[in-house]
Structure 1
C-alpha cells in the first residue's frame, strides 16, 4: 500500500469538500433564502455561518496536512487497484466526518431545544452524501431551529454525493487507469464496458449530464412556482435521487400535481444509466428503448404502479378516491422508491399491505447501473434471474450449453456472474445481521414503551418492531430514506438510539459505494505494503 500517495489523494478530496462549503454561505441571507427571518432566527443564522466557516477551515487544514504528508517522489507513482479501493472507502469516511461538522459546530437542533450530537450529525451528513435522504431533523421550516445555510448544505451534500466525490475528483484530475478503478468502485453495478474507454472522459460526460439536468430542473421548478432556494434544493434531491426537502411534508407540502409529475419524469431519468442517456443523445431514442435494463426498469415501474392502484382502489386507501389521485400517488411513490429518491407526497404507511409490501420489495431493486439511484441495481436482478433459469435447466439437461445474453451481447464472464451471486449473498447477509442487531439491542422506548408502565404502548406497537427494524435496515442499506412504521413517510430516524444511528451510517455507506470498498478497510492484510 502506497500510503504517501493515498495521503496526497485524500488531501485533495478534503480540499474539494471544504471548498464546496463556501457555496452555502450566501443562503444565510434572507434575500437568497426567500424566507422571513425573525429577530430570534438571526442569531441562529449567524451560528450557521460560523459553523460553516469553521468547518471549511478544519477541512482545509486536514487537507493541507494530508498533502504535506504525501509530498514525496513516491506519491507520484501510479495508483493501483488496492490504493484506488482505499481512496474510495476512506474518502467517503472523511466526507462523513467533515460533512458532519457544519451541523455540529452550528448547533443545529433536532427539535426546538435539543441540539444535534456528533453521531447524529454524521448520520445527517452520510444521508446526504450517500443520497439516502434519511433524516433526524424534525422541523425544517422554523428558522430558529435549522439555519438556512445549513439547510442548503444539507441539500448540497446530495449534489456532491449524486455526482460522486471520486467521480468529481477523476473528472478534474484524471488519474489514468486508476481513475477507472476508482469510478467503478464508487459507481457499483455491471456497466457498459468499452462505450467510452477514457475514464476521465466518462467522468466528465457523467458530470456534464448530471449538472445540466440539475440546471434544467431548477429552472422548471421556478417556472412552476418554487423560489430559487427551494428549486435548487429539490433539484439536488431529485437528480441525486436523495430526497432531502426543505419542508416537513416533503414535496407534498407544495400540493401541486404539476410539480409531482415533473419530479416523476426527472426521477426516472436520474435512475437511468447516464452512459445510456449519453448514447441516446448521440444515437437516437432507439438506444434507450432497445436497452434491456431500461426496458426492465420501466416495466417494473408500470407493473408495480398498476398493482398498487388496483389494490388501493379495492381497499379504499387514502389518496385513491379517483383514478387521477390513484395514478398520481401510486406512480409517484413507486418511482420515488425504485429510484431510491424517497420523496413523499402521501402517507403510504397507511396503505394496504400489498402496497406496503410492494414498496418494501422495490427497495431491494433500485435504479439502473451507472445512475445516481441506489439499491442493488436492475441489471443485477436481470442477470440473477438468467443465472437461476440456466441452473434450473442444467438440473434436468446437464449437457445443455446455454449462454447468458443481455440483448445481443453475451454476458457469460464467469468472474462477473460469480460476482453477481456473491453480491446477492453479501447484501442478504448484511441485511439479516443488521436487522437482528437492531431487533435485539434497540430499546423498546423507541416505540414509546416504558418498562415501568406496561400500558404505555399497545402490544401491537411492540409486535411491529420486527417489521419496523427490517424496514429501517432496508431503507438505509438501499439508500431509500423513509421506510415503514416508525421511519414511515411522516416519521424519521430521530427516535432511534445513538448506536442504531451509527449502524445506519455504515449501512448507508455500504449501500452507496461498491460494498467491497468499505469492507476491505477492516482487513489488516489489505493495508500491508506487499
Structure 2
C-alpha cells in the first residue's frame, strides 16, 4: 500500500456495447459499475489498444503507436479518443499527457491502486507459500517496483520452513512447538524428527538455505541475480511468485524448466529424508557402505515412493492425452516439427506442470487452462494431494492419503468381518495409534466441509460482473478451483484464476475469504485452534 502498487486497469472492455468501470473503491462486494455503450468499430479498437497494448501501462501509449497497432489513420485515432473522453465513466479514466495534436502524446488508462484487502491477500499468499496474486504487469516498474517483487519472494523464503523453524526454535519442546511440528508432519513420525526438536529445526533450516543457494547458482546461467534469487525462493518454498506475468515460461529455456522441476521435487520431499541423503551418519562401516544404506533407507520410504509414483503416472497421462488433443501444438509450428519434437515438449511442459501442482508451487511454463478436459481434471485432482509431510509443500500431504485409503479399507473389511483384528501397517511396520486415526479422518471431514461452505459462500456473494458476460457459465468451476487452489496453497486454479490470470477480479470480501483459506491451509485447523486455547499454551512437557 505504501509503495503505491497498482494491479489492474480501471476499465474492463468486453464488447462495443458493454464495459465495466472500477468506481466503488470501498464497497465490500460490488466495485465495478456496468455501462451500456454504443462504440463504433474505430472507438472500440482505440479503447482496446489503450487497455491492452501498452507494454508498460504506467507510461501509457503514444497516439502514433495506437495508430500502428489498430491500423487506423492518426486522424481517426484522435477523433475516436475525443469521443471516448466524453463518454460517462470511460472519459474520467483516460489520462492524456500532452497535446492531442502531437503524434508522440501519450495516453494511458488509470489503474487500480492496491487497498488494504489486496495487501493482506498478497502478504498472506507470500508467507503461506501459496503464490496467488492480484497483480498484473509485474514487469512494469512504474506500477510494481523491483523492491516489492523481491519482498514478495522473500516472504516465500521466510514462509517455507521459516514458520516451522521459528516456532519450534522459540517454543522448543513445549506442547505448542510439538503441535506445530505435528501439523506439518502428519502420520507416523519419521526417524530423527522428535528426539531433539530444536536441533532438528536448525538442521532443516540449514538444509533449506543450502538448497536455495545451490538453486540460485544454477539459475544464474540463464538469469540475472535478481530473477535467480526470486525464483529460487519461490521454488524451494513451493510458493510460485515470479517476476513475470508468464511465470517461468518467460525465460523460454528448457534448462531453467528442468532445473526448477528437479528442485520442486526436492522441495516437496520430506526434509528428514533429504537430510539422510546429504549427511552421513557416524558408524564403524566404510563410508560408501553407510551412504548406500542410507540411500536405500530413503527410497524404501512409502510416502516418497507414492509421491514419485503419482508424479510419474500423472505426467504420462498428461503427455499422452496432450499429444492426442494437440495440447503441444504451437501456433507458429512449421512442417519441420516432428513427433519427437512434440514428445519432447510434452515431457518438458507436462512434467513441469504436474510437479508444480502436486508440490503446490504453482509456477507455469504452459497455459494448462487451454489443455484438454481430462488433463485439466488431473491437475485439479493433484491440488488435493500436495507434497510429502515435513516438506515445504502445502496441500493435504501424500501420507494422509495413504493412511486414509488404508483406514477406509480396514473399516470396509470390518463391516463384513467385525471380529477380525487388522493392525494398520505402513512400510512393513505396525502402527496402532487411535489418535492418529481419528486425526486423519477428522482432517478429511473438515476439508470437505470447509470446501463446500466457502464455495457456496462465494457463489452467493461474488457478483456476476467478476466474469466476462460470455464466461458467466464458468462461475461454478472457477469458484471451486479458486477455493481448492487457496486452501491447498497452490496459487493458480482454472478459468479466471488460471495459469495466465490472477485473483485481481474478485471482490474485496472474496479476497479476505481466500486469505483465511490460505492461512488455514498452511497452518491447518488444529494449529489455529491451539492459538485460542490458553490452557494448552500454559501446559509444558
Q: Provide the residue aligned with 1:514 in structure 2.
A: 524
Instruction: Report the more deviating stretch, 322-331 or 112-121.
Output: 112-121
Once the two structures are superposed, the pairs formed by residues 95-174 of structure 1 within 5 Å of their partners are: 104-111=1-8, 113-171=111-169, 174=172
Question: Which of 243, 253, 259 pairs up with 1:256?
Answer: 253
> CA offsets per residue over residues 310-338 of structure 1, 9 Å max, x none?
11111112458710001111111100000
> CA offsets per residue over residues 433-486 of structure 1, 9 Å max, x none?
0100011110011103xxxxxxxxxx7611110000000000000000000000
Q: CA deviation at 1:189?
A: 5.7
Once residues 231 and 243 of structure 2 are traced to their aligned partners in structure 1, the CA distance between those partners, rounded to angstroms, is 8
Q: Does 1:203 align with 2:223?
A: no
Higher strand proportion, which one? 2
Instruction: Report the more deviating stretch, 313-322 or 128-137.
Output: 313-322
Larger radius of gyration: 2
Once residues 119 and 530 of structure 2 are traced to their aligned partners in structure 1, the CA distance between those partners, rounded to angstroms, is 25
Q: Does 1:345 align with 2:342?
A: no
Question: Which of 472, 497, 500 pairs up with 2:507?
Answer: 497
Question: Which of 235, 239, 250 pairs up with 1:238?
Answer: 235
> CA offsets per residue over residues 29-58 of structure 1, 9 Å max, x none?
xxxxxxxxxxxxxxxxxxxxxxxxxxxxxx
Once residues 319 and 213 of structure 1 are traced to their aligned partners in structure 2, the CA distance between those partners, rounded to angstroms, is 35
SS at 2:160 equivalent? helix
SS at 1:200 equivalent? helix
Higher helix proportion, which one? 1
Instruction: Report the more deviating stretch, 439-448 or 500-509.
Output: 439-448
Q: Provide the residue aligned with 2:487 in structure 1.
A: 477
Once residues 246 and 189 of structure 1 are traced to their aligned partners in structure 2, the CA distance between those partners, rounded to angstroms, is 36
| Structure 2 gap segments, 5+ residues each | 9-109, 279-291, 331-340
TM-score, structure 2 length as denominator? 0.73
Kindly report the root-mean-square deviation, in angstroms, between the aligned alpha carbons of the 2 structures. 2.2
**Residues 439 and 521 of structure 1, relative CA distance in 2, 3 Å threshold:** farther
**Alpha carbons 2:325, 2:372 under 8 Å: kept:** yes
TM-score, structure 1 length as denominator? 0.75
Once the two structures are superposed, the pairs formed by residues 404-483 of structure 1 within 5 Å of their partners are: 404-448=424-468, 461-483=471-493
Q: CA deviation at 1:524?
A: 10
Q: CA deviation at 1:110?
A: 1.2
Once residues 218 and 528 of structure 1 are traced to their aligned partners in structure 2, the CA distance between those partners, rounded to angstroms, is 42
SS at 1:464 equivalent? helix
Instruction: Report the more deviating stretch, 332-341 or 383-392.
Output: 383-392
**Residues 191 and 506 of structure 1, relative CA distance in 2, 3 Å threshold:** farther
Instruction: Report the more deviating stretch, 195-204 or 418-427.
Output: 195-204
Once residues 172 and 387 of structure 1 are traced to their aligned partners in structure 2, the CA distance between those partners, rounded to angstroms, is 35
Q: CA deviation at 1:385?
A: 0.6
**Residues 116 and 500 of structure 1, relative CA distance in 2, 3 Å threshold:** same
Question: Which of 379, 383, 388 pairs up with 2:399?
Answer: 379
Question: Which of 178, 181, 201 pairs up with 1:180?
Answer: 178
**Alpha carbons 2:184, 2:390 under 8 Å: kept:** no
Q: Does 1:303 align with 2:322?
A: no
**Residues 167 and 425 of structure 1, relative CA distance in 2, 3 Å threshold:** same
